[in-house]
Structure 1
Amino acid sequence: MSTLSISPVFTAPSALRAARRPQSTVRLTRRGRAVVFLASLALALVAAFFLGAVAVGSETPGEAAPTEIVMVGSGETLWGIAAELETGDDIRTTMREIERLNALESAQLFAGQKLRVPVSDS
């Protein structure tokens, strides 16, 4: 007849923690982390410098779109000015073009303001 005996094995908690955590071979100090950070930052800046140095311009200048200057009267709106131009485009497209030509941040206009507008085809 055979017998089976079970005997519990007690392992200290510090031994369990040491067994779970693999010992790393590289330990960085505060100075080491700073060196790694600065080296990677320098590498990123050098890469950005060389990748950003590509010129996208050409040797010949482009032609400016023909425009004229319009003085804004009292009560006039950008929609009304764009509608009067009759460029054949949608009025909203003409409004965006006027905003782009004059670097306007909004459609708000003031009496006496001078606007550069595209020349109408007709």
Structure 2
Amino acid sequence: MLRHTTYQSIYNNDFIETASSGLKTAERFQAIQAMFSRRLLFKLLLTAVIIIAGCTGMVRVFAGSPHDEIPMEQVVVSQGDTLWGIAVEYKPKDMDTRAFIRVIKETNHLKTSGIEAGDVLSLPLY
């Protein structure tokens, strides 16, 4: 049989008054002020991190501009030359031939792989 209980309802104002009566008004004010200062510090720190991350991304975006010129080599197409043959001869060693052909076509505004003797192709040098 239960004779004594220490249960207090959290919905009862007496419980809130009893819990807070242990703290003096100045101590409560300091506790609230510390809580708000921690929140403010966290918000300022988070804002600084976001700004720094954003600025770093902006620097990366503007680091390379479309005005940067890639050195080009001019090649005159001879009789019997193909884009594949030219690409194999001039591409970097570690680059796929098909990728270099795409670069040649984009650089020279070619819609097809057809080239003729006497055409002048600009090949980017990597």
**TM-score normalised to the size of structure 2?**
0.46
**TM-score normalised to the size of structure 1?**
0.47
